[in-house]
Amino acid sequence: MAWVVGPMNTDQHSYRWVVLAMVFAAHFAAFGLLSLAVPALVPLIAADLGITAGRALLAFAAISFTLVFAQLPGGAIGDRFSLRWVVGGGILLSGIATALRWVVPTLPGLIGTSLLLGLGIALVNPNIIKTLTQWFAPDQLGLAQGINLAGFTVGAAIAGSLSAGALHTAVGSWERVFLVYGAFTMGIGLLWIGLVRSPRPAETPRVSVPEGRVKVITDTGESTTEVIRGVLSIRATYLASLVALFSLFVVNGGLGVLPSLADRVPYAVPEVFVGTPLYAATVGALGLPTLSDRLGRKPVLYGGLLGTIVGVLVVGAAPNLLSFVLGMVIAGVFGGGLFGMLYIIPGELPGVGPARAGTMAGVMLSFGQLGGTLGPIIGGAGLDAYGIHAAVLAIALPALLGLPALWAIGLEGDRSAHVESATEDFPPG
């Protein structure tokens, strides 16, 4: 722990914007582009391999399955070793796994490479959250994490609109689409390793504590086991995990069921509108976390969760195309913003800080991935058994259980804090 006293440093440390650009690129490629390309290409894969779409979707389910279990150890690895190599290695692994689908264009090959891709994403996802907590002070962390998540939403939107259309036409097969995406992502991984470094002492954000002193914990000196035990001993860990679970339950549940809803409503929904939530999510991912830098974290978290629930309900009750699209926009904006807010929480829970942010992010994202996997399954079952209204209620109502967990969380970002980059270290006292 370093205690720092000194005047405000006016140096804005411009290199953090290089780091932020690389975080955006990492989330764009390794998570958004690579994972969402799989469902986009499912119709082509199923037709080529002579299997059902449901069997082809096992390749997508394998990614989610891996992330449920792998993000906690992935985050713990990031708390123990250099983020340059952990995240860079994860990006490279994701790209290699995707490119290998060109070599093994079979269903077992798709599932195996998806498991490998999940391991790569598990190294990237929690640790790019940690990377930003090291470089950005609390009053700018919302903006930074919003841009981070926008990388995912933009990558997902491009995967959905480009993979089975223009790119497939250009390269000639779904296997080559994966090869192109994999090679591109490997290039991002090499750039990360070459460009991203840890902040120097003068570049590390410091947060004021009583008596005008400033402290920051960047390395506790704990072993990986001790860090995991420390995180799991904090009550806030379980509250934050419940918030993540119910938040991604409604976000992913809505995204997963919306295309099927569009086919069942009594009016025509043009295919171009089905991607509306993902584009709207980019606006929310940039807007809500940035707004939380000014209004506080918890009010925006409440708004994000409730807004997503309302948007899903509006879609289910929409009597015409206009209100259906309005509901998708509401769900997309607030869902993207809510997802972005979840990326801020790990570094701002009391007792966590940057030193344990990777492990905390891994725990939260694992629970969130569980909710994100269950949401589409439960929503789809409700749709098949009882229809549209039952589906949206099955997705929206359970998410209300996230509100009491959110109410009980204490976040450092909602406390008044003076932020500065100090230049001298002094012992306590």
Q: Are residues 173 and 231 in the same domain?
A: no
Residue 211 lies in a domain: no
Q: Are residues 186 and 260 in the same domain?
A: no
Number of domains in the chain: 2
Q: What is the CATH number of the domain that holds 329?
A: 1.20.1250.20
Cβ-in-10-Å burial (0-12, 13-18, 19+) of 120 comes to: buried
The domain boundary, picked from 155, 172, 201, lies at: 201
Q: Are residues 253 and 147 in the same domain?
A: no
The domain boundary, picked from 166, 201, 236, lies at: 201
- Helix/strand/coil for 270: coil
Residue 428 lies in a domain: no
Tens of pLDDT, residue by residue over 210-250, are 444 334 444 455 666 777 788 888 888 999 999 999 999 99
Residue 2 lies in a domain: no
- Helix/strand/coil for 425: strand
Residues 6+ apart with CB under 8 A from 153: 32, 278, 279, 281, 282, 285, 336
Residue 26 lies in a domain: yes
User: Minimum mean pLDDT among 70-84, 185-199, 316-330, 338-352: which range?
Assistant: 338-352
pTM: 0.76
Q: Are residues 146 and 232 in the same domain?
A: no
Q: How confident is the model at residue 399 (pLDDT cuts 50, 70, 90)?
A: very high
Q: Token pair for residue 202?
A: 């003068």
Q: Are residues 90 and 55 in the same domain?
A: yes
Q: Pick the residue with more confidence: 42 or 321?
A: 321
Residue 59 lies in a domain: yes
Q: Pick the residue with more confidence: 121 or 43?
A: 121
Residue 74 lies in a domain: yes
Quick one: pLDDT at residue 412? Answer: 63
Give the span between the Cα atoms of 265 and 324, in whole angstroms. Answer: 9
Give alpha helix (H) positions in 27-167.
34-49, 53-56, 58-80, 83-99, 107-135, 138-162
Q: Output the DSSP codes for 20-45.
A: HHHHHHHIIIIIIIHHHHHHHHHHHH
Query: What length is written for the chain?
Result: 429
Report the sign of the C-alpha dihedral through residues 388, 150, 111, 107, in that order. positive
Task: Give mean pLDDT, residues 271-289.
Answer: 83
Task: With a cut of 60, say whether residue 364 has pLDDT above it.
Answer: yes
Q: Are residues 242 and 288 in the same domain?
A: yes
Residue 423 lies in a domain: no
Q: Pick the residue with more confidence: 359 or 170?
A: 170
Determine the structural domain holding residue 405 and report its residue range.
222-413
Quick one: pLDDT at residue 425? Answer: 38
Residue 339 lies in a domain: yes
